[in-house]
Amino acid sequence: MRINVTRSSMPSFEEYTEAIKPLWESAWLTNMGVNHEKLAERLSEYLKVDNVSLFVNGHMALEMTLQAMGLSGEVITTPFTFASTTHAIVRNGLEPVFCDIDKNTYTIDASKIEDLITEKTCAILPVHVYGCVCDVEEIDRIAKAHGLKVIYDSAHAFGVEYKGRGIGTFGDASMFSFHATKVYNTIEGGAVTTADAKLMDMLRKLKDFGIKDEEVIDGIGANAKMNEFCAVMGLCNLLHVDEEIEKRRKVVDRYRQNLSDEEGLTILPVQKDVKPNYAYFPVVVEEKIFGAERQTIIDRLKEDDIYVRKYFYPLTSDMDCYQGRFDSSMTPVAKYTAERVITLPMSASLTENDVDRICGIIRSCRGAAN
């Protein structure tokens, strides 16, 4: 049976169809319906945050957060991320300044941020890559010392906590993605968490045409709000997300049992003081030690109907759409990692036998280049 890099978690068909029956009776399918409001409230409780603003997807949540802050100038960020992070900066007329990553967590290397700050710097946009938590304490210190905004890309970090705090409470705002491939999904969707009431009001204006009530439009906005069908899926999935995360933990534990002692394969360390969500399982292939390139592993797995991803490759700074604009040699750790990383299949539905088979194929590649 085909194994993809991820598989969406969903409630039972009967649970979802029962939950959407009231939509047919009310015919209220969007525009901040009862399910939209209920989901925002329940997510606020689950994520341990003050406010949640729901969006049609995570990208619009991030792009509109930057817009709502009225930023101008340079934003320090990471090139080791999905295209959305960099696109959101550029589409707001801002200039991304790329900082290298930490070799252990693949998140932004906080020790290198201050050297990149100029009079044009307005914000820091770190990414909790694979659900690994950034050095939030050092980033907070730097931001306060230099008067900078901090917007976290928490697309991978749903449900993650650091020292008992919800990850969405750090910085000025955090964006979460609820895409179908994530630990928690609303089919498509996203959210912004923030303690800033003014920012919440600006997001309200931007995502719904500036509509305040039936007769008042007090902002110039677009349309990026979540519909009721997605909100219902979110409510259903929220009932099961802890169970799904526990299943993912067992998958990660099995991967660790199989691969922890494999020379030439680097896996993520366990972060201190972090409650993880087991979003991804990346492996960095040191081909000189392992004796095979990552493409060999990818091809062998594909022969057995197992599909992995070079996630993230290329660096956003090396993407064709930014050709000639950035120099990725300035972020050597990120470049090295991007050229060697594989994200292995990761979902709550994987069995121990699935993981054992995947790891067996990977081990069989050792020395293939010799």
- Is the preceding omega at residue 332 within 30 degrees of 0, hence cis? no
Summarised one tens digit per residue, pLDDT across range 58-67 is: 999 999 999 9
Summarised one tens digit per residue, pLDDT across range 83-116 is: 999 999 999 999 999 999 999 999 999 999 999 9
CA distances from 170 to 50, 69, 78 (A): 11, 16, 18
**Closest to 312 (Cα-Cα) out of 293, 276, 339:** 339
Q: Are 204 and 213 in contact (CB under 8 A)?
A: no
Q: What is the pLDDT of residue 370?
A: 59
Integer Cα distance of 110 and 116 in angstroms:
11
Q: Are 314 and 162 in contact (CB under 8 A)?
A: no
Q: What is the pLDDT of residue 298?
A: 98
DSSP β-ladder status, 190-194 and 74-77: unpaired
Residues of the chain falling short of pLDDT 70: 369-370
Q: What is the pLDDT of residue 367?
A: 87
Q: What is the pLDDT of residue 148?
A: 98
CATH architecture of 241-364: Alpha-Beta Complex (3.90)
Listed by start position, the domains of the chain span: 13-237, 241-364
R_g (Cα) of the chain, nearest Å? 21
Q: What is the pLDDT of residue 1?
A: 84
At 334, phi and psi to the nearest 5? -65, -40
Q: In what order do the strands lie in the sheet with 281-285?
A: 265-267, 281-285, 341-344
Q: Classify 13-237 by CATH class.
A: alpha beta
**Closest to 64 (Cα-Cα) out of 219, 205, 211, 212:** 205
